Structure 1
């Protein structure tokens, strides 16, 4: 599959994706990509976030590829059961926050717990860092196994965001290209 063959839905996490974030950069450079907007990026409400993602998937005119980061991963995985069957063909899930076991997360983020453990009905990659302050690598590995996702070890990469030095994130684009090629 090529990017021109699908609708790419980019799903940011808490606070959205600032202009320097790899998600915002990808959304502006990939012709079939768009950001899934939320009403309030700073006070997330689980049902509202899931509904917005379901609405974006249902409104797609081509097969859907999800590209989610952080809390966007959680909201996307929680929304899966409400997607029109067969619409989503794959997902690139980056920097899962452990909303169950990370004590320093805001209460609004912890409200997304518990994380689903059912296998995803489409191929997926879960990119996890060994130094992510919001999720231990072993927990990401556990969820990748439960979801049937291929786990990608990003090494010591923090939360894979601007603060950890991942502005354009060319390695992620290469990983996305390889993933799409195999769909």
Structure 2
């Protein structure tokens, strides 16, 4: 038993079976935070669910977010009084929800929360992400007070990016856990 938990926060439409988050759930037993509605996500509902899961155990957590899950972390952290329960956050491929071509299902995720995070965070992004450009990812990382790194042309850093079980990502989760302990 470890002294912390890892919570997986998928984005819009959840993470499919070949997504690295699903691989990590199977391989490491890390907990996926399930949402009631993956297709018409309401920010407040997602925030309430994350709060519920964080308060459900006595151990602190590392948050591992993909896509819209990154915005969940930022929105939750801006409003919660329980941010001390988080050791750190890995924020992968944050989308630009303020882009004019954002699907209508994500309209209530505007404006993007840009408040500094009260815990260590790392934003990993791609130079050719169809849902958020490099400039947006770098700006979000700066606003959130997070370190950031571009992984090159890897798309949305999802199953189609060919990351598989993504051991480099697991190493970043372990670094965040060790630094926050």
Does the TM-score normalized on the shorter chain lie above 0.5? yes
Evaluate the alpha carbon distance shift between residue 149 and residue 18 of structure 1 in structure 2; reply closer, same or farther with a 3 A threshold.
same
Structure 1: 5+ residue runs without aligned partners?
none
Instruction: Tell whether the 8 Å contact from 1:124 to 1:149 is kept in structure 2 after alignment.
Output: yes
2:122 counterpart of 1:134: no
Distance in 2 between the 1:5 and 1:152 partners? 28
Q: Does 1:58 align with 2:44?
A: no
* Count of residues in correspondence between the two structures: 179
Question: Superposition RMSD on alpha carbons, in Å?
Answer: 1.5
Deviations 1:55-92 (A, max 9, x none): 11121320111000001111121011215141111100
Against the structure 1 CA distance between its residues 134 and 120, is the aligned structure 2 distance closer, same or farther, given a 3 Å change threshold?
Answer: same
* CA deviation map 1:38-67 (0-9, x unaligned): 111112122111111111112132011100
TM-score by length of 2: 0.92
Three-state SS of the structure 2 residue aligned to 1:86 is helix
TM-score calculated relative to the size of structure 1 = 0.91
Structure 1 runs (4+) greater than 3 angstroms displaced? none
Ranges in structure 2 where 5+ consecutive residues have no aligned partner: none
CA contact (8 A) 2:141 2:147 kept: yes
